[in-house]
Every structure is written in structure tokens, then in C-alpha cells.
């Protein structure tokens, strides 16, 4: 394995669209959502351990999840868990990891990936990552992985490619535009054009390329981290990060850098990807009965119901009748019954519950 190759796994989110199964105390990345016997974080780590030295894989997560992370990944050291005191979106998270790694190895090539994605075609995924590492090892490029769409999806961002060949790989293109989650009409246009790929949120770049991009496009954030550079990988790092995050704005790497830079490329592939961001995406990848119900429950009687995803505790007896296309999920003291087509509203439901009932239900 190449000692210059590093991986950063982002695991700090609370997964509110998977509420009530995903809660602040134990978000979805720490749950066995797919019933494989491993959490999403463990599945992600195991994939990347096939490509990167174990000591070169870093987890960035909220300070509240340090214990959970080390319990689930006993093969890593506490120094490999980067703790964010506040949630400030992906740009500060990536800046933190990049400066920490740069101080260890200024020749580092870094893959940045979320902790909660589904990858069905492991060999294709590994081949794609290796191609991306090879490309960014020799080019001053910011690379993202694009996934060939199989439907007009409104829940994903899209990347439009510039079809001009570059000579490195037939599946690698310069990026023309990024588009956030479109409505169904626009999603159909994207799907039918053949020029658009889903934005997987997986990035590859040299540490020098990404830090140059921060300097050019997010100079305020860059200055904050640069000012504390000497404290990284010392006993004073945690305090330095607390100070940085108290001043740092919240912004995504997509909006802050990728949509502005002129050296952005996309490597297009099809490795069976889903971001597992919603109950609907989990339903799509779950085993279903003859009525197309995806059931994760031991004691349940279902009558005249179809196209539902049902996730209930083992000790709960449930009788379900007359529902079509619903999410039915219970965890601890919360029961959710919601139309699948309206699942994007779940984040709003969580906000309403927090505002009126406090934190005990979220």
C-alpha cells in the first residue's frame, strides 16, 4: 500500500432524515441500518482498509461521538479520530483533516468520503478510487466521483460533464456545472441528456491542491486553520480547534470550493452507489415481500398494505392495515408514520419537535 495515500471519513452528522431511528445520541452512521451485522461507519472503514494503510485512515466526527467511534473501530488509535466541537458543514471538516495530514506528510493524496453510503459493487469502487488516486498524484486537480444515474432522482445533486477527452481515462472529464437537488421536471431533463451524473460526495485530491483551493476560495477559513498550524498533532490541538470552530463559518465544500474552482474533474463510474440519506433510499435497497413491503420487525401482522417500509422494535407487536407507500418507524419514545413521498419533510418534523418538546425526542 502507498504510504502517501490517506483517507478521511466524515462521520459527524446526525442523520435527521432517518429519524426516529437515527437520533442525536446515536446517529445513523453508527447503526446497522442494512442489517449486515456492521454499522455504516464500520462498512465504510472496511472498504477503505482494502486500499489504505489502517494508520492513514482518519475519522472526523463530533466530539460527542469519540467513544462510539473508538468502540466501533478498535483497530484505530485515538489520534486518528478528529473531533469537531461544533457542526459547521463539510468545508471546515475537510480543512481540519487536510492541515493535520499535511503536517504529517506534505506529499499526501487524500480521499474524502461520507461514512453512510451504500456501495454494492466493491471491486468497481476500489478500481475507481485507485484510478482517482493515480490521477491526482500527478495533476493539480480536485476530483469528485460521479455516478451514472439510473432514474431521474430529485434527492441527489448532479454534475454536468464537459465531454472533451483528456487522455488520462475515458471516464474522466472536466466538470461543466454543479446543480443542487432538482425538481422532477429538471431531473428528467438531466437523466435523458446523458451529460449529467449524480454527485457522490466522494472527493480525491493532493493535500497541496485542496489547501491551495482553500486559500483561493475560502481564505477566511484557511487563515483560521493556518494560524494554528503549529499546534496540530500536539497536546494543544483540541483547544486550537475549539477556537477555530468558534469563529469559523458553516459552509459546504461543494459551495465553497468545488463550484468555484477551475481545476475540478469528475471520474464517472457505476459502483452501485446510494447515499442512504432517506427512508426511501433504504426502502429501495431492502428486501421486500410479495406486496413490496420492506419489513424490519419481528412481531408484525400486515393486512391490505403495500409499498411500505416498516422498522419496529422486536418487543413491539404491530398490526398494520390499509396503508400504501408509508414509512412506519418506531425507536424508543418516538413513532413516525409518514408518506414516503413526503419524507423530505422529516427534517422539518424534527425541528418542530425540538422547538416544542425539547431534545429528549431527537
| Model pLDDT for residues 225-268, shown as the tens digit of each residue | 999 999 999 999 999 999 999 999 999 999 999 999 999 999 99
Tell me what pLDDT residue 15 has. Answer: 86
**Distance from C-alpha of 201 to C-alpha of 294, rounded to nearest angstrom:** 27
Tell me what pLDDT residue 170 has. Answer: 73
Domains in the chain: boundaries: 5-139+202-257, 287-361
Tell me what pLDDT residue 1 has. Answer: 79
Is the model's pTM score more than 0.85? yes
**Residue 174, CB-side half-sphere exposure with 13 Å CA sphere:** 12
Backbone angles phi, psi at 111, to 5 degrees: -100, 130
What is the DSSP track for 276-314? Answer: --SHHHHHHTS---TT--EEE-SSEEEES-BS-EEE--T
Q: Which residues of the chain are modeled with pLDDT < 50? A: none
Question: Which pairing describes strands 300-303 and 273-274: parallel, antiparallel, or unpaired?
Answer: unpaired
The 10 Å Cβ neighbour count of residue 212 is 17
Tell me what pLDDT residue 124 has. Answer: 95
Place of cell 415481500: 289
Element containing residue 246 per DSSP (H, E): helix 237-247
**Distance from C-alpha of 61 to C-alpha of 77, rounded to nearest angstrom:** 14
Tell me what pLDDT residue 66 has. Answer: 97
Tell me what pLDDT residue 113 has. Answer: 97
In this structure, whether the domain defined by 5-139+202-257 belongs to CATH 2.40.128.130 is answered with no
**Distance from C-alpha of 224 to C-alpha of 136, rounded to nearest angstrom:** 26
Amino acid at each position: 500500500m502507498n504510504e502517501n495515500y490517506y483517507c478521511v471519513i466524515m462521520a459527524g452528522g446526525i442523520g435527521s432524515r432517518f429519524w426516529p431511528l437515527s437520533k442525536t445520541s446515536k446517529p445513523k452512521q453508527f447503526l446497522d441500518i442494512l442489517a449486515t451485522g456492521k454499522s455504516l461507519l464500520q462498512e465504510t472503514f472496511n472498504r477503505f482498509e482494502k486500499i489504505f494503510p489502517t494508520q492513514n485512515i482518519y475519522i472526523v466526527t463530533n466530539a460527542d461521538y469519540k467513544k462510539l467511534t473508538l468502540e466501533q473501530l478498535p483497530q484505530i488509535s485515538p489520534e486518528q479520530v478528529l473531533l469537531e466541537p461544533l457542526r459547521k458543514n463539510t468545508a471546515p471538516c475537510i480543512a481540519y483533516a487536510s492541515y493535520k495530514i499535511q503536517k504529517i506528510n506534505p506529499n499526501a493524496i487524500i480521499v474524502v468520503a461520507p461514512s453512510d453510503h451504500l456501495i454494492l459493487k466493491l471491486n468497481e469502487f476500489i478500481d475507481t478510487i485507485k484510478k482517482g488516486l493515480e490521477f491526482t498524484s500527478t495533476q493539480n486537480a480536485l476530483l469528485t466521483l460521479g455516478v451514472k444515474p439510473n432514474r431521474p432522482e430529485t434527492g441527489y445533486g448532479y454534475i454536468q460533464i464537459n465531454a472533451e477527452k483528456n487522455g488520462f481515462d475515458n471516464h474522466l472529464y472536466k466538470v461543466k456545472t454543479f446543480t443542487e437537488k432538482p425538481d422532477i421536471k429538471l431531473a428528467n431533463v438531466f437523466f435523458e441528456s446523458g451529460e449529467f451524473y449524480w454527485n457522490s460526495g466522494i472527493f480525491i485530491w493532493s493535500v497541496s491542491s485542496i489547501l491551495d483551493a482553500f486559500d483561493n476560495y475560502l481564505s477566511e477559513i484557511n487563515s483560521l486553520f493556518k494560524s494554528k498550524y503549529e499546534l496540530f498533532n500536539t497536546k494543544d490541538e483540541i483547544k486550537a480547534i475549539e477556537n477555530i470552530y468558534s469563529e469559523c463559518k458553516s459552509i459546504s465544500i461543494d459551495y465553497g470550493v468545488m463550484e468555484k474552482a477551475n481545476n475540478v474533474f469528475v471520474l464517472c463510474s457505476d459502483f452501485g452507489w446510494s447515499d442512504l440519506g432517506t427512508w426511501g433510499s433504504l426502502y429501495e435497497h431492502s428486501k421486500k415481500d410479495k406486496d413490496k413491503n420492506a419489513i424490519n420487525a419481528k412481531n408484525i401482522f400486515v393486512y391490505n398494505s403495500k409499498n411500505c417500509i416498516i422498522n419496529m422494535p422486536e418487543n413491539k407487536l404491530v398490526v398494520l392495515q390499509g396503508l400504501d407507500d408509508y414509512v412506519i418507524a418506531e425507536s424508543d419514545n418516538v413513532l413516525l408514520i409518514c408518506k414516503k413521498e413526503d419524507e423530505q419533510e422529516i427534517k422539518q418534523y424534527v425541528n418542530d419537535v425540538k422547538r416544542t418538546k425539547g431534545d429528549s425526542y431527537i
